[in-house]
Amino acid sequence: MNLPYAEPFRIKMVEEIYQSTREERERWLKEANYNLFNLRSSHVYIDLLTDSGTGAMSDRQWSALMTGDESYAGSRSFEQLQKTVEKITGFKYLLPTHQGRAAENVLFSVLVKEGDVVPGNSHFDTTKGHIEFRKAHAIDCTIDEAFDINDLHPFKGNINLEKLEEVYKSHPKENIPFCLITITCNSSGGQPVSLENMKAVKALSDQYGIPVFFDSARFAENAYFIKKREAGQENRSIKEICKEIFSYGDGMTMSSKKDGLVNIGGFIALNNEEVFRKASNFTIIYEGFITYGGMAGRDMAALAVGLDEATEFAYLESRISQVEYLGNKLIEYGIPVQKPIGGHAVFIDSLNFLPNVSREEYPAQTLGLEIYKEAGIRTVEIGTLLADRDPDTRENRYPKLELVRLAIPRRTYTNNHMDYIAAAIKNVYERREEIAKGYKITWEPEILRHFTVQLEKA
């Protein structure tokens, strides 16, 4: 008989987690002003808030920590990281940062100015925040199929070339610093971008003289989907596909806390020496010297190993198969989720899940709170709270999808945990008709409000 699938690793250390009562969770939510970011981690049983920096490192990575070179300048660990990044991406200039949003801050300080527009495929929260903080505008050019949860398009992260060309035609070249391709596209459900689409975006952008950059937090997962879904790619290695991906860009930002398999870190990688030199100055101002940029040598050493491990097929198959396992469980229970299942998370459509909660009362946030109350599972809203207010009108922006993201940490939970999560959400779904009221804002900051917003019951 054929052998069943088993994970390509074994567990070496465990961490105890506390299973609370519903009464405790109700009290903790009120104390947290109904913002899941404000909960203590000790009050969370299964934490699906993010896959960023929450995964488990390998024995090779822990070993690399002990070899870290903590020299302020010219660190050996930096050299190791730089060689690894160039081998995987082809980019020769590297600027480490303490995490992905720091990489955006440094790069955008060089490239983005007031009045600019930055087209792309559903920019994520910090990306859009850094653009709008500079009084520029992010323009979403994602294909329409991305916003139909039941459409099985294999590459829902793709950019619509007609939308992109309209941006290029309707704005002066000097006001379009770059096109940004997010891989995978988090805001549309962890959906991948095809090689064919990347190549076409690069060709169109070259025609108009516009650089292309990648938001690369989950580039390895994107490469896995290319190998599995795109014709002619099935016999190529993940590393070969990654090298081609980045050949269609002029540079990248990276949150290493995702596909770098580490708990902290990020970087910018480029081939343009002029941009590198300008960005180096901002790295020194905001992060640290250019050969550490806010990272300890030990963390750069672990990252170099993590990037190598993350671009191997066996790891990616294990990781993405677990996400798919949870997604299929929810589909089996009739839960409305974004399909096909994405690479790092399962995204629940809260508008279909909670039809009695108005959009003005934040149905995705309401669903996330109900899931926590049910079983101590922390998720995150990818909806109106995250979309924030229009920077000009200050009115709520209502995205096409109101999603609750179940982000799965890498190499952290077992499929028993996935079964528990699915059963808990099924319980909430069975009482969905009883949930008719949501929440209202009592306080919010000017930008990136979902991190610190305070709410009360409507």
Concerning whether 37 is annotated as a catalytic residue, the answer is no
Pairing relation of β-strands 46-47 and 377-378?
A: parallel
Report yes or no: 286 and 332 within 8 Å, Cβ to Cβ.
no
- Name, in order, each residue with C-beta under 8 angstroms of 145's C-beta and a sequence gap of 6 or more: 151, 153, 156
Q: From the candidates 124, 214, 225, 353, give the one annotated as an active-site residue.
A: 124
Report yes or no: 453 and 389 within 8 Å, Cβ to Cβ.
no
What's the rounded Cα separation, in Å, for the pair 341 and 154? Answer: 10
Report yes or no: 127 and 215 within 8 Å, Cβ to Cβ.
yes
The alpha carbons of the chain give a radius of gyration, in whole angstroms, of 21
Concerning whether 124 is annotated as a catalytic residue, the answer is yes
Concerning whether 220 is annotated as a catalytic residue, the answer is no
Concerning whether 315 is annotated as a catalytic residue, the answer is no
What's the rounded Cα separation, in Å, for the pair 311 and 299? Answer: 18
Concerning whether 217 is annotated as a catalytic residue, the answer is yes
Q: From the candidates 5, 9, 18, 72, give the one annotated as an active-site residue.
A: 72
Q: From the candidates 47, 125, 259, 349, give the one annotated as an active-site residue.
A: 125
Q: In Å, what is the CA distance from 168 to each residue of 162, 163, 165?
A: 10, 9, 5
Query: Count of CB atoms within 10 A of residue 63's CB?
Result: 13
Concerning whether 72 is annotated as a catalytic residue, the answer is yes
Q: From the candidates 130, 257, 339, 450, give the one annotated as an active-site residue.
A: 450
Q: From the candidates 217, 220, 345, 407, give the one annotated as an active-site residue.
A: 217
* Phi/psi at 389 (5° precision): -95, 150
Concerning whether 429 is annotated as a catalytic residue, the answer is no
Q: From the candidates 156, 202, 227, 258, give the one annotated as an active-site residue.
A: 258
Would you name the residues annotated as active-site residues?
A: 72, 124-125, 215, 217, 258, 450
